[in-house]
Structure 1
Amino acid sequence: MTLLQMKGITKRFGSLVANEGVSLSVNSGEIHAVMGENGAGKSTLMNILYGLLKPDAGEIQIDGTAMDFSSPLGAIAAGVGMVHQTFRQFPNLTVWENLVFHNEPGNGPFVSADAARDFVRRLGKKHGLEIDPDSRVRDLAVGIRQRLEILKALSRQARILVLDEPTAVLTPQERDSLFAAMRHLADQGMALVLVTHKIPEVVAITDRITVMRDGRLSDTLVTRETSETEIIRAMIGRNVPPTVAPKMTPTAEPMLSVRNLSVRKGEIAVVDNVSFDVRPGEIVGIAGVSGNGQPQLISAVTGLEASTGEVVVAGRDISSLSIAQRRAAGISYVPEDRHLTGTAPAASIAENIVFGRHRSAAASNRGFLRKEAIRAQARRLIEQFRVKAASEAVPVGSLSGGNMQKVVIAREIEHGAPLIIIEEPTRGVDVGAIEFIHKTLIAERDKGRAILVVSSDLTELLALSDRIFVMFEGRINAGLTGSDMNENTIGTWMVGGVQGA
């Protein structure tokens, strides 16, 4: 039975057509993927379904009844729930306080904590998503916090559940637990819409796939009757072979040496006595569940965070140097958040590419910027890195996620440093851009650069890395090579490992 129908949805933002005549149907008991490159229109379509945007044309039907959502409250009342990639929770409150917020059981102004706890237990048991109602959210693992988000939607009687990139920060074990819960919900008659870039996961868990390209419907596929190759072809119009980097065992002296590095937040060591090396001609990966010290480790190496211990680049101790001095000493850095840290979104592509190099002879003369030289360099890099943009003068914030990421990577590779540190190289990036970014990193490694990659995507780390270190509670608790670099082993160490493993 068809539970959700979106018919002929069109949405324009000025001259940009984000959705053009898009139709989507999802059946009761079905897990349905929505896929497409960055800028294909997936987010716009889901935001329309959840009442965050109003379509210019088209119709939404639930159980055959036409809907007109003016806000998410209308969508929620109609049975639509959405689990966002960024959790919307109160970390210092308990599970039950988060779950019943704005719908507290009780008498008048008095909240019945016992009734709320019982509600959490019954809801969790019904859907196979049990959580201790008295746990503080800040103390929960990422997978359990996501479980709470799903329960929040179910507590509002959601029958249609949209999950936006739900596995982005999960371990393999947490991912498998999520998939089991999703199948359980579908078996109860719910319709689940999975928005993701991860094709292997789509093949593993979904029943049908809607593929979008350039704001239009490209294809609707039955999962068991298709293949990864067909899905990619529907998304980008060509085949993309998987990236498999041949593993390297360089013998040169380390380009980066980290010794006994620690970062403290009050009494807590968020990075605790960490040591490792990265040599020229290798890619070293850092794996770990979110919240185990990976961002603070990179911030300490790059100078963004105060630390103790020693950081050596190309044989030089840079521990006491400023951020700019460390960059000059041989570090290129692609941060995790390309919007907040990696770019100035309102500035042009050309301006973003010259950031950090504006005092160089190539970019300035006697204190004045050489604007035409800067624009020419930007045009060259736009072509070299296949950035889809009208010109070098457009604001970088107007680009899709994949193209914005290419601009940041182009700038950092152009910097020419022998050490490249890159966080989440392809988070939120479509399959075509992933292929290009991976090939670019491998090519830079083969030129002799040392590359340190931090990623929550184990498939990415396994494809790129020559060695992988796993972080848990601020420490490196495993260094893996060869056959030990597999999802099960890495996932085990990500949650603390096993004695004797």
Structure 2
Amino acid sequence: KPKTEPGKTVLKVEKLTVKNDKNLEAVRELSLSIRSGEILGIAGVAGNGQRELAEAIYGLRKPTHGTIFLNDKELSSTDIAQRIEEGVAFIPQDRRALATCPSLSITENMFMKNAYSNYIPQSPFNVNIRAMHKATEELISSYSISTPSTRTPSRFLSGGNLQKLVLARELSTKPCLIVAEHPTRGLDIGAMEFVYRTLLAHKERGAAILLLAGELYEIFRLSDRVAVIYEGEIMGYTPPDPKFTEEIGFMMAGSKQGEIA
């Protein structure tokens, strides 16, 4: 991964509390920050608040307490559309059920957020379909998406190509913050490498990236800092180095950093 000097703070989360689908607290008084040109990896056993944290930052889930700042602007009370306009991108772990609409074409999936991201300028009364198809062809080429046509329904794409579609849609607008939740889950090695290279390229561009991954090797490979989460709380931070695996393991089991002998 390229070495970059982190810039100013892009995302700042303070004392965030979020409930899960069962109305139980999944994230508890959590605080973190990410700077421009930095990848913060969140390590933890699945089900410890990672999903709720990602959805709260993007606006899919309303926090019960706490504040979220993007470039010093508070986003806590804003909706998803406003966060897209401010430059927040989200790569969810479920690319078929949440990230795309299987019955819609590749072009339609690619530009379903265009009204807010404004990748192709348009108005509600003037949707430039021809420009969208042309831009989709360019993105298909840039992201190496294997498909017979821009009009092919996304349900016919393989997992790797579908994830490339999501990456193309979310990252083509050059967002300042990328929330990536298990971005390589279920992918083959070639697709995983493509995702890694893409995220690192955007880090080098200056984006702040929150990486939630299930595999430590992935977090070590991509991250600049590692935060360990347990039952919705940050237990501590380590450098992205395998020699800290044991310490990370203790924190993933509930030991705070200062308590580890």
* TM-score, length-scaled by structure 2: 0.92
Corresponding residue for residue 262 of structure 1: 17
Corresponding residue for residue 62 of structure 2: 306
Deviation at 1:483, TM superposition (A): 4.1
d(CA) in 1 for partners of 2:242, 2:192: 25
Question: Using a 3 Å threshold, how does the CA distance of structure 1 residues 439 and 485 change in structure 2: closer, same or farther?
Answer: farther
Corresponding residue for residue 350 of structure 1: 107
Question: Using a 3 Å threshold, how does the CA distance of structure 1 residues 338 and 321 change in structure 2: closer, same or farther?
Answer: same
Deviations 1:248-291 (A, max 9, x none): 452x2210000000013577421000001010011111111111
Which of 127, 132, 143 aligns to 1:369? It is 127
**Residue 399, structure 1, aligned to residue 157, structure 2:** yes
**Residue 286, structure 1, aligned to residue 42, structure 2:** yes
Corresponding residue for residue 66 of structure 1: none
Corresponding residue for residue 260 of structure 2: 500
More relative contact order, 1 or 2 (CA 8 Å, 6+ apart): 2
Q: Which amino acid counterpart does residue 29 of structure 2 have in structure 1? A: N
Corresponding residue for residue 446 of structure 1: 204
**Residue 381, structure 1, aligned to residue 136, structure 2:** no
Which of 406, 425, 428 aligns to 2:186? It is 428
d(CA) in 2 for partners of 1:478, 1:470: 6
Deviations 1:109-146 (A, max 9, x none): xxxxxxxxxxxxxxxxxxxxxxxxxxxxxxxxxxxxxx
Task: State whether residues 225 and 238 of structure 2, in contact with CA within 8 Å, keep that contact through their aligned partners in structure 1.
Answer: yes
Deviations 1:220-275 (A, max 9, x none): xxxxxxxxxxxxxxxxxxxxxxxxx145452x221000000001357742100000
Q: Which amino acid counterpart does residue 272 of structure 1 have in structure 2? A: R
Deviation at 1:482, TM superposition (A): 5.1
Task: State whether residues 247 and 465 of structure 1, in contact with CA within 8 Å, keep that contact through their aligned partners in structure 2.
Answer: no
Deviations 1:373-428 (A, max 9, x none): 00011100000000111111111111110110000011011122211111111100
Corresponding residue for residue 326 of structure 1: 83
Q: Kindly name which structure, 1 or 2, has the bigger radius of gyration based on alpha carbons.
A: 1
Deviation at 1:366, TM superposition (A): 5.9
Deviations 1:58-106 (A, max 9, x none): xxxxxxxxxxxxxxxxxxxxxxxxxxxxxxxxxxxxxxxxxxxxxxxxx
Task: State whether residues 358 and 369 of structure 1, in contact with CA within 8 Å, keep that contact through their aligned partners in structure 2.
Answer: no
d(CA) in 2 for partners of 1:435, 1:311: 31
Corresponding residue for residue 271 of structure 1: 27
Which of 80, 86, 94 aligns to 1:337? It is 94
d(CA) in 2 for partners of 1:361, 1:297: 27
Deviation at 1:300, TM superposition (A): 1.1
d(CA) in 2 for partners of 1:375, 1:288: 40
3-state SS of 2:96 partner: helix
Which of 209, 215, 231 aligns to 1:473? It is 231
Question: Using a 3 Å threshold, how does the CA distance of structure 1 residues 461 and 347 change in structure 2: closer, same or farther?
Answer: same
Task: State whether residues 255 and 418 of structure 1, in contact with CA within 8 Å, keep that contact through their aligned partners in structure 2.
Answer: yes
Task: State whether residues 310 and 319 of structure 1, in contact with CA within 8 Å, keep that contact through their aligned partners in structure 2.
Answer: yes
d(CA) in 1 for partners of 2:240, 2:19: 33
Could you say what the CA RMSD is over the residues aligned between the two structures, in angstroms?
Answer: 1.9
Deviation at 1:462, TM superposition (A): 0.8
* TM-score, length-scaled by structure 1: 0.49
Deviations 1:354-388 (A, max 9, x none): 01114638253561321110001110000000011
Gaps of 5+ in 1: 1-244
Count how many residue pairs are aligned between Structure 1 and Structure 2. 256
d(CA) in 2 for partners of 1:267, 1:321: 21
Gaps of 5+ in 2: none
Q: Which amino acid counterpart does residue 27 of structure 2 have in structure 1? A: V
Corresponding residue for residue 409 of structure 1: 167
Task: State whether residues 16 and 30 of structure 2, in contact with CA within 8 Å, keep that contact through their aligned partners in structure 1.
Answer: yes
d(CA) in 2 for partners of 1:466, 1:331: 20
Which of 207, 213, 220 aligns to 1:455? It is 213
Q: Which amino acid counterpart does residue 382 of structure 1 have in structure 2? A: I
* Percent identity between the two aligned chains: 36
Task: State whether residues 469 and 479 of structure 1, in contact with CA within 8 Å, keep that contact through their aligned partners in structure 2.
Answer: yes
Task: State whether residues 270 and 293 of structure 1, in contact with CA within 8 Å, keep that contact through their aligned partners in structure 2.
Answer: yes
Deviation at 1:449, TM superposition (A): 0.9
Q: Which amino acid counterpart does residue 253 of structure 1 have in structure 2? A: K
Task: State whether residues 249 and 466 of structure 1, in contact with CA within 8 Å, keep that contact through their aligned partners in structure 2.
Answer: no
